Amino acid sequence: MKFNKTDYFIDFENYIEWVIYIGTVVYVLPGRSTKANAQIVAGAISIFLAWINFALFLKRFSFFGIYIIMTKRVFLTVCKVLPLVVLFIAAFSFSLSLLMPLDQGFNNVPVSLLTTFVMMTGDLDYRGTFLANGSLHVLRKIFLVLFILMVSIAIMNLLTGLAVGDTNEIMNRSKEKKRIYKATLVITLERNLHNFPIFSPPKIKNINIQDHPDEKVECSSSWLLRQWEKVYDDEELEERLNEMKNDEEDHEKKLDGLREEIKKTNDLVHKNTAAMETKIENRLKNIEAMLAQIQAGGILHSSN
């Protein structure tokens, strides 16, 4: 839970924890051997949310964090397509309810919706449901074929493509998110650890830096980071540094190639410039020679 009062109500995980607390109290009190239905419901919801909250807490750790964040992002992506899925499920559910009113899976609207949703996962129950003889058995089989083509194949492949299509982008964003969660956790603990004297970091020694210039002063943040180094490994940091080093080497190679191209271009320009200057000088000499001939011819003509 967050200690910052302004950010407390923004974090969705805090609401999950409150539901867990309330559900646990409702289930435990009063402490009888037999539980009412409301208490059983509260206990089931509390257990479910407790494990989900525990999984969300693990996203701050190096090994589990990236996969939990990716799972969350994929789930949110699938939720964006759910309105389209609900439309198809409702269309087939209501139609099959009219065609098979005596079937146990389609005798009312809620059960029909649930049955159609389960059919979307592949549990069609073809022999027991759609092979029964009746006046409308041909139309039932037509709807079954349409359901397989539109829902089981098209929509399920669409969901799969959305889930794994941009895996690289999700992986990169999940890494950044995990770093943010880790930094937020460390900063929050550092700001609020002094409220708990048992876990508070050791006091900083009063050292005059001028008298002891080479002695390292231990501060609370460095102490806290050293404690969390026991939990967080440095594999990701080393991987990131290696990536940055490789990127830097690639940039250097590209810069070297660019410098070489610029040098070749300059040499070519100089060569072309020298050739053009030579041509211009030759043209000027030819013009001067022609002018000299014209002047000489004019002088001879005037003398005659």
Using CA atoms of 59, 62, 64, 68 in order, give the dihedral in degrees to the nearest 10: 40
The model carries a pTM of 0.54
Which of helix, strand or coil describes residue 180?
A: helix
Of 196, 97, 202, nearest to 140 by C-alpha is: 97
Sequence-distant contacts of 180-188: CB under 8 A, at least 24 apart = 181/59, 181/60, 181/65, 182/60, 182/65, 182/232, 185/60, 186/224, 186/225, 186/228, 188/2, 188/3, 188/4
Q: Which ranges of 58-136 would DSSP assign to H, the alpha helix?
A: 62-99, 109-120
**What residue type is 4 in one-letter code?**
N
Rounded alpha-carbon distances, angstroms, from residue 193 to 59, 160, 187, 225:
21, 44, 10, 13
Q: What is the radius of gyration, based on Cα positions, of the chain?
A: 39
Tens digit of pLDDT at every position of the chain (304 positions):
445 566 777 778 888 999 999 999 999 887 777 888 889 999 999 999 999 999 888 877 767 777 787 788 788 888 888 888 899 999 999 998 888 888 888 888 889 999 898 888 887 777 777 776 666 778 888 888 899 899 888 888 888 887 776 666 767 676 677 677 767 776 776 666 666 655 555 544 444 444 444 444 444 445 555 545 544 455 555 666 677 777 778 888 888 888 888 888 888 878 878 778 788 888 788 777 777 777 776 655 555 5
Sign of CA dihedral 249, 251, 253, 256: negative
Q: Is 242 exposed, middle or buried (0-12, 13-18, 19+ CB in 10 A)?
A: exposed
The domain ranges of the chain are: 9-60, 61-196, 242-303
Distances (CA, A) of 217 to 210, 226, 228: 12, 14, 19
Residue linked to tokens 């709807």: 143
Q: What distances in angstroms separate CA 243 from CA 187, 237, 248, 249, 261, one per listed residue? A: 26, 10, 8, 10, 27
Largest CA distance in the chain: 145
Tokens coding 223: 């102490």
Phi-psi map region of 11: left, alpha, beta (phi>0 left; psi -120 to 50 alpha): beta
Alpha carbons within 13 angstroms on the beta-carbon side of residue 64 total 10
Compute the distance between CA of residue 70 and CA of residue 64 in angstroms, rounded to an integer.
10
